[in-house]
Chain A
């Protein structure tokens, strides 16, 4: 008649989750919808032409030639202006302003990469049109390597984000809710093992994880052709480590909080910096060097970087050992701390 309590606790967790439609959506549906929306929004397009302004002055002879020459060049959009200057340059509507004459004059902001590019393109086109011969023979090979698109960057980030928010909400929030409903206290009045109670959350997360990960990988592959360059086993192992690290953090934020508002605030406090700084939607390289050591220490950064390395670059176990170690350490420390601080009543 008696069944195993750990199995019963885990089963209860899973049942409660799957009977809550909104929880199911946020865990499984939302990441798919998000990756679909972002994948479509940032799909690869041919490069935008560079907008260049030309002064069509009163002595139209010189400027006419310039306009013609630029119109015949790929990747340049020409706009004519009837004055020696324009505000469109400072507002960014054009990247470069050309004033033809005895000597060609270029107005541009050299700190804008787009403007520097425009200057080179325009200068090249005009020099060639005036008869400059290229000394070296060249040939262009456009490259669209798998792994260089935004969606390739995004899918690993979404995997990491999903593991993080699933663990934080699925454990942190649920535990505190049980505390406010006095269910924790009621369970403490039985001989239930506290360790098994906490383990049931970890097992539940692991069970979900084996649903979530294939779902996102399969979706990325079918919808956008995102593949896994490296070892699938390594990818699963890294994600599991991430799940354990965030399960520990989830228990930690739930250790003391007495109501769900407090724990929601704590969860957001922990997650928000990582949403922005851990390279989910854009690379951590965008932050100044001063911040890099801090960003490197965040668990989601470690998870995203290592998952990305495995998926895109095909990195092996050695290359991601540092990140894996960091995740394991964060998991162990936060578990130990949570157990010590945990308020059972």
Chain B
């Protein structure tokens, strides 16, 4: 299979902390691959190693069939990179920033075209300090797109943005992918991963703990629906698991999550169990299973803790 990124046994140790702890990844050409995990899971460290900005303590990295130690110059020409946090120069206009970045690459797209693509054409003459958070982020992505890269890295592209800005950025990413290009993005938003990613690696404590398409990962829960409840009283986990149609049970804090096949089957049984024990049901909600439930099931923690 034609791989855009392949890395094996990746380890990055700092003085006391192991940020990446034996991580393996294979990203296919033409797919949008997501690294999903909470803050501090090692996503950014992993991505910066793949981008050739950090040296791994050990492990093997191949990007577009090349290696950083040997082919840095050629690789840099073919990658588009947007870091988690970059303050572009305040007193340059949008167009000037983009022209500057364009000048570093041998090939690329016209600045005007990229501005259209990210919807900043009417801001081309504004200083970057006057842009909103969403516009700044789109400009950062534009700086990564201006070289018309084969492989695009986006590190938490929509963190802290309003819903409208997020959707605009999603469209930019989907448009890039539709031209057959490869994207690797990190996020701690499950909806973003579900919307954009063909495949997702769930990362926790520097390791991949689950890998698959969003649908596969959700299906691995066994049920398509999730019941979340807070039960005040003596109801054992074993009894909850034994309710009809329950595939998995997990606890995060005081809340019990049940992955179930059919709500109409499990919900009445749950209510009558609570009633028969005299257990107070202080909170009850249901939703379609998401990647968040996958993460909670795998780690017993929320994504955004």
Q: How far does the Cβ of A178 sit from chain B's closest Cβ, in whole Å?
A: 8
CB < 8 Å neighbour of B89 from A4, A5, A183, A189: A183
CB contact list, B53-88 vs A, under 8 A: 53, 73, 76-77, 79, 81, 83, 85-88
Q: Are B106 and A16 in contact (CB under 8 A)?
A: no
Residues in B neighbouring A16, C-beta threshold 8 A: 89, 91-92
CB < 8 Å neighbour of B104 from A1, A5, A19, A345: A5
**Interface-located stretch among A7-15, A123-131, A206-214, A323-331:** A7-15
Report the separation of the CA atoms of residues A181 and B99 in the bound assembly, to the nearest whole angstrom.
Answer: 20
Q: Are A15 and B91 in contact (CB under 8 A)?
A: yes
Contact pattern, A 152-177, Cβ under 8 Å of B = 1, otherwise 0? 00000000000000000000000000
Most buried by A among B52, B105, B108: B105
Contact pattern, B 125-143, Cβ under 8 Å of A = 1, otherwise 0? 0010000000000000001
Contact pattern, A 1-33, Cβ under 8 Å of B = 1, otherwise 0? 111110111001001100110000000000000
CB < 8 Å neighbour of B83 from A3, A20, A189, A191: A189
Residues in A neighbouring B99, C-beta threshold 8 A: 3, 8
Most buried by A among B51, B83, B99, B103: B103
CB < 8 Å neighbour of B87 from A1, A181, A190, A192: A181
Is B102 an interface residue when CB atoms closer than 8 A count as contact?
yes
Q: How far does the Cβ of A103 sit from chain B's closest Cβ, in whole Å?
A: 79
Q: Are B100 and A182 in contact (CB under 8 A)?
A: no
Q: Are A186 and B96 in contact (CB under 8 A)?
A: no
CB < 8 Å neighbour of A185 from B86, B106, B147: B86
CB < 8 Å neighbour of B100 from A1, A8, A185, A189: A8
By size class, the interface of chain A is: 20 to 34
Is B101 an interface residue when CB atoms closer than 8 A count as contact?
yes
Is B233 an interface residue when CB atoms closer than 8 A count as contact?
no
Report the separation of the CA atoms of residues A182 and B88 in the bound assembly, to the nearest whole angstrom.
Answer: 9
Residues in A neighbouring B111, C-beta threshold 8 A: 1
Is A237 an interface residue when CB atoms closer than 8 A count as contact?
no
Residues in A neighbouring B83, C-beta threshold 8 A: 182, 185-186, 189
Q: Are A345 and B103 in contact (CB under 8 A)?
A: no
Is A188 an interface residue when CB atoms closer than 8 A count as contact?
yes
Is B110 an interface residue when CB atoms closer than 8 A count as contact?
yes
Q: Are A190 and B91 in contact (CB under 8 A)?
A: no
Q: Are B85 and A182 in contact (CB under 8 A)?
A: yes
Report the separation of the CA atoms of residues A188 and B73 in the bound assembly, to the nearest whole angstrom.
Answer: 11
Q: Are B101 and A190 in contact (CB under 8 A)?
A: yes
Report the separation of the CA atoms of residues A189 and B104 in the bound assembly, to the nearest whole angstrom.
Answer: 10
Residues in A neighbouring B108, C-beta threshold 8 A: 1-2
Q: Are B86 and A188 in contact (CB under 8 A)?
A: no
With A1-B110, A12-B96, A15-B96 as contacts: A191 and B104 at CB distance below 8 Å: yes
The 28 sampled A-B contact pairs (Cβ below 8 Å) are A2-B108, A4-B103, A5-B104, A8-B103, A9-B100, A9-B103, A15-B91, A15-B92, A16-B89, A20-B91, A181-B86, A182-B83, A182-B85, A183-B86, A183-B88, A185-B86, A186-B81, A187-B104, A188-B53, A189-B51, A189-B53, A189-B79, A189-B81, A190-B76, A190-B104, A191-B73, A191-B77, A191-B105
The 3 A-B pairs with the shortest beta carbon distances in the complex, nearest first, are A181-B87, A191-B76, A19-B91
Q: A8-B100, A189-B79, A191-B106 are in contact. List 18 more A-B contacts (CB 8 A).
A: A1-B102, A1-B108, A1-B111, A2-B103, A3-B102, A4-B103, A5-B104, A12-B96, A12-B100, A15-B91, A183-B87, A185-B83, A186-B81, A188-B53, A189-B76, A190-B76, A190-B101, A190-B104
Q: Which residues of A contact B (CB under 8 A)?
A: 1-5, 7-9, 12, 15-16, 19-20, 181-183, 185-192, 345
